[in-house]
């Protein structure tokens, strides 16, 4: 199949690493995938191997306007559909209209069979409008913050062939925002690739506990710092490494002893820490800020579990859908004492750590293996794609008209 995968900025930047393996697996399966970042940034690509499959065009450029300008007078009815939301969403959606028209022409000229986008916000606005104009089926993956934003969610579900949600808690968020129940709404987790070689047991002494979380309030760093102080007050030995994007000072005033702020680390380097046995445990102290501001199902935990690294986390958002009984330790949010107890239990008991690590890896293998997830997506894409789709296609977009087959 010929697929257009619309992202926010990936492979540029490092905020969407959880999409990378999914695209790699679809490419491995022989599909012609083209990645189209809505707003490609200036940062170096986070997945250099995807660059040959990436079409980099800024949100506003001469090429975008050249493709959009001739279409604008004829597309006013379609464009008006994406400007129906509140004032904030209308302005945001208006900003992606020119690139949506450019994307429609790209889809038609390239013989694209299906457009899929990650995020239900403006990336989905762009994909929805482009798909309608080009006569191409489309779908989207909704995560968490984009559901909370509720940018024409119900309209997008109606328009899309399917709406993939990465967690059951995400579906509940959709329903709470007035999206009618529909068989189009399907839960399919994000996934990671299971390491093919047996993971190494932790060898670092003192043991290193890793927190792979951007420095945002929802990640609960302040409670983790309090937990680490309790951990150390009990005479426990260890180091806590904080890996993530952003300014650590915005969420951590005075880190306790033996806390190392590593900062941003690219994904291969992070996985190497797990692969070489440098990490004794991974911890997330995430909290629920209300109004949908909570975790989805963190890929950071999946990655650690795939390497049989034991995990400690809070039972917020979609985390309990990943860390089920026996595959890790879950504690209540905003409870530093309980968090310290769980970290100490893992660090101080190698037998328990090994048991949790093995169970965590099995949990990822059974429900979060990217090969199985990509296979499911592949089937959904193919179900939307008859052997030819030229009947619905706007031929004015293509020079010359092309036959489209799966």
Do residues 221 and 171 share a domain? no
Q: How many domains does the chain have?
A: 2
- Is residue 301 assigned to a domain? yes
Burial 225-249 (b: 16+ CB within 10 A, else e): bbbbebbbeeebebbbbbbbeeebe
Q: Domain range holding 247?
A: 208-367
Do residues 273 and 319 share a domain? yes
- Is residue 402 assigned to a domain? no
- Is residue 352 assigned to a domain? yes
* Strand order from edge to edge, sheet including 2-7: 32-37, 2-7, 114-118, 138-142, 162-165, 185-187
Q: Residue 160 sits in a domain of what CATH number?
A: 3.40.50.2000
Do residues 376 and 250 share a domain? no
- Is residue 124 assigned to a domain? yes
Do residues 362 and 375 share a domain? no
Do residues 40 and 135 share a domain? yes
Do residues 362 and 220 share a domain? yes
pLDDT for 324 equals 94
What residues of the chain score a pLDDT lower than 70?
43-45, 198-199, 204, 386-406
pLDDT, tens digit, 9 for 90 and up, residues 120-142? 999 999 999 999 999 999 999 99
Determine if the pTM surpasses 0.75.
Answer: yes
Do residues 230 and 184 share a domain? no
Do residues 165 and 224 share a domain? no
pLDDT for 292 equals 73
pLDDT, tens digit, 9 for 90 and up, residues 58-101? 999 999 999 999 999 989 988 998 998 777 899 999 999 999 99
pLDDT for 164 equals 98
Do residues 220 and 278 share a domain? yes
pLDDT for 389 equals 46
* Strand order from edge to edge, sheet including 311-314: 259-263, 239-243, 208-212, 281-283, 311-314, 329-331
Do residues 157 and 236 share a domain? no
Do residues 91 and 118 share a domain? yes
Do residues 225 and 322 share a domain? yes
């Amino acid at each position: 199949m010929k697929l257009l995968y619309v992202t926010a900025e990936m492979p540029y930047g490092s905020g969407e690493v959880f999409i990378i393996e999914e695209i790699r697996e679809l490419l491995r399966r022989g599909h012609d995938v083209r990645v189209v970042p809505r707003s490609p940034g200036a940062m170096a690509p986070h997945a250099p191997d995807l660059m040959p499959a990436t079409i980099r065009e800024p949100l506003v450029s001469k090429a975008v306007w050249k493709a959009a300008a001739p279409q604008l007078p004829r597309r006013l009815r379609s464009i008006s559909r994406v400007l129906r939301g509140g004032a904030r969403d209308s302005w945001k959606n208006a900003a992606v209209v020119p690139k949506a028209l450019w994307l429609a022409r790209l889809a038609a000229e390239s013989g694209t069979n299906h457009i899929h986008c990650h995020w239900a916000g403006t990336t989905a606005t762009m994909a929805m409008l482009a798909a309608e104009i080009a006569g191409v089926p489309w779908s989207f993956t909704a995560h968490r913050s984009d559901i909370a934003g509720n940018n024409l969610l119900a309209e997008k579900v109606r328009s899309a062939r399917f709406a993939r949600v990465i967690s059951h808690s995400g579906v509940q968020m959709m329903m709470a925002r007035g999206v009618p129940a529909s068989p189009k709404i399907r839960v399919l987790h994000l996934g990671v690739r299971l390491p093919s070689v047996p993971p190494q047991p932790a060898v670092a002494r003192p043991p290193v506990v890793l927190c792979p979380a951007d420095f945002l309030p929802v990640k609960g760093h302040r409670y983790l710092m309090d937990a680490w102080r309790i951990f150390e007050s009990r005479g426990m030995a260890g180091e806590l490494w904080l890996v993530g994007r952003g300014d650590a000072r915005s969420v951590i005033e005075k880190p306790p002893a033996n806390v190392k702020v590593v900062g941003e680390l690219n994904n291969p380097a992070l996985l190497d820490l797990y692969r070489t046995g440098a990490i004794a445990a991974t911890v997330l102290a995430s909290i629920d800020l209300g109004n949908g501001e909570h975790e989805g199902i963190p890929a950071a935990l999946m990655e650690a579990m795939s390497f049989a690294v034991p995990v400690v986390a809070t039972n917020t958002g979609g985390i309990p859908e990943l860390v089920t009984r026996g595959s890790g330790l879950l504690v209540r949010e905003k409870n530093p004492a309980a968090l310290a107890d769980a970290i100490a239990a893992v660090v101080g008991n190698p037998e328990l750590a090994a048991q949790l690590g093995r169970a965590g890896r099995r949990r990822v293998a059974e429900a979060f293996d990217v090969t199985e997830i990509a296979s499911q997506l592949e089937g959904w894409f193919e179900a939307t794609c008859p052997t030819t789709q030229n009947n619905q296609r706007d031929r004015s977009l293509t020079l010359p008209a092309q036959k489209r087959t799966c």
